[in-house]
């Protein structure tokens, strides 16, 4: 199957700093990437849908100025958590979508664990 990578796999930062998380589709081109957030012992919640070359679409309640998403190429999307605070500590997972026959396959990255001190 197709591989999606995320970098870094974990990061610890101080409150007030910005953190960038990369999501890459390694062996396929993804026109659409999705970003999810998962708090401890909770489900994955979709944050935003990112289409290559256009602005991301954010889910209700997600601050677009805080979570900046850039999808500059068909293999890379980045999520930047600006001015991170402890409440932003979470597990961030991306997924990349590729057309496979009549179905849009979606492959998930391994996740990035963010801890804000």
Partner 1 sequence: AQKVTQAQTEISVVEKEDVTLDCVYETRDTTYYLFWYKQPPSGELVFLIRRNSFDEQNEISGRYSWNFQKSTSSFNFTITASQVVDSAVYFCALSEALRSFNKFYFGSGTKLNVKP
Which residues in this chain contact partner 1 in the complex, by CB under 8 A?
1, 32, 34, 36, 38, 42-46, 49, 91, 93, 95, 97, 103-104, 106, 108, 110-111, 113
Q: Which residues contact 38 (CB under 8 A, 6 or more apart)?
A: 44, 45, 90, 91, 92, 93, 111
Q: Which residues contact 101 (CB under 8 A, 6 or more apart)?
A: none
In angstroms, give the least distance from the CB of 76 to partner 1.
19
In angstroms, give the least distance from the CB of 104 to partner 1.
5
In angstroms, give the least distance from the CB of 59 to partner 1.
9
* CB of 10 or CB of 72, closer to partner 1: 10
- For 98, the 3-state DSSP assignment is strand
- For 87, the 3-state DSSP assignment is helix
């Amino acid at each position: 199957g197709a591989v999606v990578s995320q970098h870094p796999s974990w990061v610890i930062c101080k409150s007030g700093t910005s953190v960038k998380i990369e999501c890459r589709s390694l062996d396929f081109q993804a026109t659409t990437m999705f970003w999810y957030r998962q708090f401890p012992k909770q489900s994955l919640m979709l944050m935003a849908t990112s289409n290559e070359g256009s602005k991301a679409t954010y889910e209700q309640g997600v601050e677009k100025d805080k979570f900046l998403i850039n999808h500059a190429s068909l293999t890379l999307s980045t999520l930047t958590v600006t001015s991170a605070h402890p409440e932003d500590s979470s597990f961030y997972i991306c997924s990349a979508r590729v057309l496979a026959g009549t179905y849009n396959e979606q492959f998930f990255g391994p996740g990035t664990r963010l801890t804000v001190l």
